[in-house]
Amino acid sequence: MTEAHRPRPEIIQPNQIMAWLGPDGTFTKMAADQYLREREGIALSGEVSSIRKIFELVGNGSVDLGIVPIENSTAGPVKDTHQAFTEMDGLTIVGEVIIPIKHFLYMAPGVKDEDVKEVRSKREAILQCMDNIKKHFPIAKLVYTDSTTEAVKQASEDPRVAGIGSEIAASAQGLDRLVQISGFEDNPNNATTFVVIRKKGKEVTPITERDKTTFIADMKDQPGSLFSLLREFANQNINLTKIKSLISSDGNVSFLISVDGHENEERIHSTLSRIESTGTKIKRLGSYEKATYPPTQNGTKPDMEKAVKMIQEEIRNGRSRNNKKVAFTLPNQPRALLNALYPFARRGINLTEIDSLPSGNFEEYIFYLSFDAENKENEEAAIKEFTSRCTQLKTIN
């Protein structure tokens, strides 16, 4: 047995069934195939029509495992997956898969760009191709579909529609007559992270020394609460790899967070316990081995303008509070985020949101934060000190 095909150390029983987002030819199917190539004792279920349905099938025991996209390096978090993790209990992450995402544009033969009235695909795929869409189809309507393969199928049925999907989307559906244009993604470093989920049980994934722990922290919306949480991890030299604000309407603020390490390691376990003792609720989503993914980086400077547009869209769509906001990048060094936020904590300024957005390069982020500041002088002093600790900063109106 080759090393590439040696079973991984997750708790996987024989004859497990995994649900995946169909139809055949989706990037999720490609990620599922990659996951299965490296493991034994798992078979795929029939295709599933939505991410939410995958969560439901795993939750009610109809299947043993599910695989879902959680984040893209260009378009950011996958909304449906984050929402399902927020709303559903009893599920845990047991693994991850990362694959490069190369988008292909599909059109009927003989159709010119100006003849296309609609560009269709899954929301995240459209976001990953927005620059090219605007260049080739500036007045076309954008239509979101449940999957990229479904968009390609629709393009085969209507010459006024262009669909965005994977390289194998058309061939997997027997749609060989479509014209296929490669490299339609905006960023050549484009990659998506998928996670594998199952029902929680008594067994947890073993420690591998290269683990990641993901959880949701729900805390009081008050000055210093977020800073105190981040300080707990920094004091234990625990590296925070991801933070994403989640909308909350109960007077609290929630964040989806990933850190390096396994929850059964003493420093991770004790840190989470200390945070819980302060009244913050921790919803553990799982500890799992990080995927091996060596992306080809081209040293692209973080795209601050695109990040600002994404934030403004979140505000317009009600997924972000309309508070004062700044987008920023940080030096790549320990405690950089905690140090950057200290000027706000020291002055009692409440941070209501903090998010990590894609920079265009894999596992490199642009952050943004929202804050409440009743004292103008206090606010200006905090921003001045904060600016000196960032490598880039942009105020968002």
Measured distance CA(360)–CA(309) in Å, rounded: 14
Q: Are 328 and 385 in contact (CB under 8 A)?
A: no
Residue 120, strand partner residues: 143, 163
Residue 203: both structure tokens together: 């067994």
Domains of the chain (ranges; CATH) run: 1-99+187-203 (3.40.190.10), 104-184 (3.40.190.10), 304-396 (3.30.70.260)
Question: For residue 115, what is the DSSP state?
Answer: G
Instruction: State the pTM of this model.
Output: 0.86
Contact 381, 347 (CB under 8 A): yes
The pLDDT profile of the chain, 397 residues, written as one tens digit per residue, is: 333 333 344 555 557 999 999 889 999 999 999 999 988 888 999 889 999 999 999 999 999 999 999 998 888 889 899 999 999 999 999 999 999 999 999 999 999 999 999 999 999 999 999 999 999 999 999 999 999 999 999 999 999 999 999 999 999 998 888 999 999 999 888 899 999 999 998 777 899 989 999 999 998 888 788 889 999 999 999 988 888 888 766 678 889 999 999 999 999 999 999 999 999 999 999 999 999 876 655 556 777 887 788 778 777 766 656 567 889 998 877 788 889 999 998 888 888 788 888 777 777 788 888 887 677 888 889 999 999 999 989 888 6
Measured CA to CA, the distance from residue 167 to residue 181 in angstroms comes to: 9
